[in-house]
Amino acid sequence: MSTLSNLLLTTDRTPARPAQVPVRETPDPALPTAERINWLRAGVLGANDGIVSIAATVVGVAGASTGVSALAIAGVAALVAGALSMAAGEYVSVSSQRDAERVLRDRGLLDAEVGLTNPWHAALASLVAFVAGGLVPLLVVLAPWGGGRIVATFVAVVVALVVTGSVSARLGGAPAGRAVLRNVVGGSLAMAITYGIGTLVGLAV
C-alpha cells in the first residue's frame, strides 16, 4: 500500500466541531446591586458605631455617677450628635465615591447602565441605623436594674455586636466568627476603658 493510502486511512475524518460562540451572561436580578450593597454597608456600620459609642458613653458616665438623669442626658446627647456626625460623614464619603464613578463613566471605563451610588441613601441609612443601634445600650442602662445596670448593659451590647458582626460578615462573604470576635472584643474594650476613666474622674471630682 502506498504512503498516500496510509495517510488517507490514518487521517481522522471526524468532522470539526463548530466554534463555541460565547454567551453573554445577563445579570441576575436576584443579586444585590452596588447601590444596595453600599446602602446595607452604611446601615451595618452605622448600627455598629451606634452600639459601641453610646454604650461607651453611658458606661463611662455610670462609672462617675449613678444618677439616671445624668445617664439619660449624656446618652441622648451622644445619640443625637453621633447620628448627625455619621450621616454627614457618610454623605461626604459617598459623594466622593460618586464623583469618581462619574469620571470613570465619562471616560468609558464604567458601564453607562450601572447606577451610581447615592450619598443621600447612605447618609439616611447610617443615621437611622446609628439611632437604632444606640438605643440598645441607652434603653438598657436606663432600665431599673439597680446594681446590675452595668452588667446588663454589657450583656445587651455583646449580643447586639454579635448580630451586627454576623450581618457584616455575610454581606462581605467573610467568615462570621472572625467578624463577631472583632466586634465583641472592640466593643468590650471600649466599654471597659471608658468605665475605668469615668470611675477615676468620679473619684477625682
Give the model confidence (pLDDT) of 77-86 as tens digits. 999 999 999 9
192 neighbors 151 (Cβ within 8 angstroms): no
Please indicate whether residue 178 or residue 5 has the higher confidence score (pLDDT).
178
In angstroms, the CA 197 to CA 11 distance is 87
pLDDT, tens digit (0-9, with 9 covering 90-100), for 97-136: 899 988 998 888 888 777 788 899 889 989 999 999 999 9
> 3-state class of 32 per DSSP?
coil
User: What's the grid cell of residue 147?
Assistant: 446594681
**How far apart, in whole angstroms, are the C-alpha atoms of residue 150 and residue 174?**
32
